[in-house]
Amino acid sequence: MTADSGHATSAGSVDHPPGLPRALVETLRYGPFHRALHDAIAHRGLSLARLRAHLAQHGVQVGQSTLSYWQRGLRHPEVPRALETVRALETVLRLPSDSLVALVGTRPQPRPPRGYAEPAWVAPTDFEAAPDNTDLEVLSAHDTVLVGPHRERRTVTTRLVVRALRSGPDRFVAVHRGDEGSAVENALVRPAEGCRQGRLRRQPRTLVFELLFDRRLDEGEEHVFSFTVVDDTGGATPGHVRTFPTPCRSYLLQLAFNRRALPARCTKQFRTEPNTVPVDVEDLVCGIGGVVSAYFTDIGPGTAGIGVEWSA
């Protein structure tokens, strides 16, 4: 059984170097990219010509007109081609590592910002309550898993409805656990409605990543956001589970199978503890379209999911 996107140990807040104005710190956290770049250049007091010269000293060649377009929002850095230039900008402008990279929507490699103490990430086979997420109540979760023609899990699309338990939360820390044989170093995170990607860390068969909201939520405010993890390098999937450390009102899990690779059996399962014998098992019907659905209400704490069995 495979655990996917959910709670993880805190990613922590980026420790910005002393001397950055509060307005710039806020823009680096919330974006957009062109505003953060403009404010960072203004803070350093560099002309675009001098900035271009500094970048050249770091072995990065970029046109002055390109820098102008970027800071005015007329163009956006193309990734991965522009990734080296964006990282060089962080160095020249004396910004935290990955602060600009995160704003262009790339998937930065696990390189901590200057002066930043590495968080003690959990090796998550399930979801753990975390300081980043404990201020959020998960009201509803919906996972849609696409299974390919070779029985491999290709994508997991998650939509969450959360409510702020107190004022202040501005992100959600999620976990993706790859199936056996997964080359998680090639997996991608694609934010959709209501969020953008922050920092990302890769561990063996595991992704831990931030999903940043566009603002801090007020107490009692509800927020909807969604994202997709693309990870199609694993073997035949044994199914999908989500672990809820606290009660959740509703959870809908759907597995969509390729018609050339339909399962022999699917079961709806609930466990009070991960990796234990299910306390509730129910056979599910795979419909004509190859979709299997399991709906859970008022669940948790515990682990809910769909187990998949394949014919020989």
pLDDT at 121: 26
Give a three-class secondary structure readout of the chain: CCECCCCCCCCCCCCCCCCCCHHHHHHHHHCCHHHHHHHHHHHHCCCHHHHHHHHHHCCCCCCHHHHHHHHHCCCCCCCCCCHHHHHHHHHHCCCCCCHHHHHCCCCCCCCCCCCCCCCCCCCCCCCCCCCCCCCEEEEEEEEEEEECCCCEEEEEEEEEEEEECCCCCCEEEEEEECCCCCCHHHCEEEECCCCEEEEEEEECCEEEEEEECCCCCCCCCEEEEEEEEECCCCCECCEEEEEECCCEEEEEEEEEECCCCCCCEEEEEEECCCCCCCCEEEEECCCCCCEEEEEEEEECCEEEEEEEECCC
CB burial of residue 293 (10 Å; 0-12, 13-18, 19+): middle
Fold of 22-103: 434 Repressor (Amino-terminal Domain) (1.10.260)
pLDDT at 223: 96
List the CATH code of the domain at 136-309.
Answer: 2.60.40
**pTM for the structure as a whole:** 0.60
Residues in CB range of 141: below 8 A, 6 or more apart:
158, 159, 160, 161, 242, 248, 250, 251, 252
Q: Where in the chain is the domain with CATH 1.10.260.40?
A: 22-103
Q: Where in the chain is the domain with CATH 2.60.40?
A: 136-309
State how far the alpha carbon of 186 is from the alpha carbons of 103, 183, 205, 232, 283, in Å: 20, 6, 10, 9, 34
What is the pLDDT tens value at each position of the chain, 312 positions in all?
444 443 333 333 344 455 788 788 877 877 788 888 998 998 889 899 899 999 999 999 988 888 988 888 777 887 667 888 999 999 999 998 888 888 875 433 333 333 323 222 222 333 333 446 888 999 999 999 999 999 999 999 999 999 999 999 999 999 888 888 888 888 889 999 999 988 888 888 888 899 999 889 999 999 999 999 998 888 899 999 988 888 899 999 999 999 889 999 999 999 887 667 777 789 999 887 899 999 999 887 888 999 999 987
